[in-house]
Amino acid sequence: MTDTDIDHAAACLAAAWQDDTHFDSLDGAPPPATLDAGYAIQARFASRVGTPLSGWKIAATNVAGQRHIGVTHPLVGRLFADRVYPAPATLLMRNNRMRVAEAEFCFRFGRDLPADAATLERDEVMNYVDALFPAIEVPDSRFVDFAAAGAPSLVADNACAREFVLGDEVAGDWRDIALDRFPVALYLNGERVVEGTGADVLGDPRAALTWLVRECAQRDLPLKSGHLVTTGVIGRPLPVSAGDTVRADFGVLGDVELTLSGHGTGHTSSSPEHAS
């Protein structure tokens, strides 16, 4: 892709992000053919959006998530400060076409990652983490047929990021908990409908975090103190509709609740936080 193509694609995506709209294709720009081109568009898209970065997300860390968006490997996206909300939150589903909620483990870095982070092992990566949170992601794509868009286009589309609800920081010493075996349940309108464990997330949420650190380091994407990293869907994406209440139960690690509304003009009734 030429630089003009990248800028045009980023402009299309940024307009759709800000206006909460969707399209079939990038309005005259060729679709990115490689992941490198997709990440170049994502970076330009982020510059156009102009919102502070709260951190990063990993899409498609298990087979259910991959099937949902039609890819075969994880993707990195950005979490923007104006779309990260403290629980409990009320989110507007008015124009969300994907219409799913996903329970996720979320980490926060307590210091900047080094330039050679691509060589870090899991335990070394965890030394940079200062907090763990339960969370729910409510994703969406700017592509109408997101399952057919392909991985490079979905990377350009910020890995299907939309809104993110953060629970309270886990209190006490959680580092000795076996997160790969830790059970999580998702409730829809009070009914337990999805169950999973941390093993759903690349075998372990800490392994998913390590994958993201290495991927970001290889692509010169900054990982800074205060950045959140949400590690992907536990169990499977849960179909939701306006009027639903969703609660993710992380047991001793806490829970997260959100309500989905079809009315109003904003995105949420809670105040965004955790910008960095």
Residue-wise pLDDT tens digits, 190-215: 999 999 999 999 999 999 999 999 99
**CATH class as words, domain 52-261:** alpha beta
CA distance 90 to 112: 32
> Could you tell me the two tokens for 237?
């994406």
C-alpha pair distances (Å), 203 with each of 48, 81, 89: 35, 28, 29
**Residue ranges per domain, the chain?**
52-261
Tell me the angle at which helices 3-19 and 35-49 cross, rounded to the nearest 10 degrees.
Answer: 50
Nearest Cα neighbor of 129 from 202, 66, 210, 218 is 210
Rounded Cα distance between 14 and 247, Å, is 30
Widest CA span of the chain, in angstroms?
53
How many helices (H) and strands (E) the chain has is answered by 6, 13
Per-residue pLDDT of the chain in tens (276 residues, 90 and over written 9): 899 999 999 999 999 999 999 999 887 789 999 999 999 999 999 999 999 999 999 998 888 888 888 888 999 999 999 999 999 999 998 889 999 999 999 999 999 999 899 999 999 999 999 999 999 999 999 999 999 999 999 999 999 999 999 999 999 999 999 999 999 999 999 999 999 999 999 999 999 999 999 999 999 999 999 999 999 999 999 999 999 999 999 999 999 999 999 865 444 444 455 433
Within 8 A by CB and 6+ apart from 176, the residues are none
